[in-house]
Amino acid sequence: MTRLLIIGPPGSGKGTQAEHLARHFGVPAVSTGDIFRSNVSRQTELGNQAADYLDGGHFVPDHLTNALVQDRLLEHDVRHGFLLDGYPRTAPQATELDNMLAAQGHALDAVIELQAPDAELEERMRRRALEQGRTDDTIDVFRRRLDLYRRETHEVVSVYAGRGILVSVNGSGDPGAITGLAIAAVEQFLAAPRPPS
């Protein structure tokens, strides 16, 4: 019954770490990218609406993203927990997630924040662009995404820090070592006595 969220700047290795952590804690990794792709490929009503934005290179608006995530969190495989990756990105989305979970009598157990210096994040992006031939990983695009993260998503980090459920992890260095650090930090946090809410 573990409900986790992973958050971090672009290039922090969030997707990779989400897979490893989800496997360790025995819960499905739920990424908004996967939710979008699944709904678009199945041509659901919400997926068709999302495709209009995605095809134009735009962000899927909050109301639509919220609806897609809510549908996903009602599915059977996440009944006993999940690890969310890529949502919420904004403070209003964080409020909406609270409402979704509260309606099922649940709440997040912990939020994992991956931290790494900008220079390292930028270097990872350069490397990924070379290795994968990704044209969207230019330095200008990366810096815009990082700025967007600082302006919007960092507010989400502050919300969870204020609630006392934020677990910050050093995301620098070897991915395997980072996974070990993250698992240890989350396990220690979940095992600690919690004040009554």
How do the domains of the chain map onto residue ranges? Answer: 2-188
Active site residues: 14, 89, 128, 134, 145
DSSP line for 3-64: EEEEE--TTS-HHHHHHHHHHHHT--EEEHHHHHHHHHHTT-HHHHHHHHHHHTT-PPPHHH
What residue type is 159 in one-letter code? Answer: V
Place of tokens 């735009």: 58
Q: What is the pLDDT of residues 162-190, one digit of tens each?
A: 999 999 999 998 999 999 999 999 999 99
Q: Is 20 annotated as a binding residue?
A: no
Is the whole-model pTM more than 0.85? yes
Q: Is 59 annotated as a binding residue?
A: yes
Beta carbons of 186 and 4 less than 8 angstroms apart: yes
CATH fold of 2-188 reads Rossmann fold (3.40.50)
pLDDT band with cut points at 50, 70 and 90 for residue 111: very high
Q: Is 88 annotated as a binding residue?
A: yes
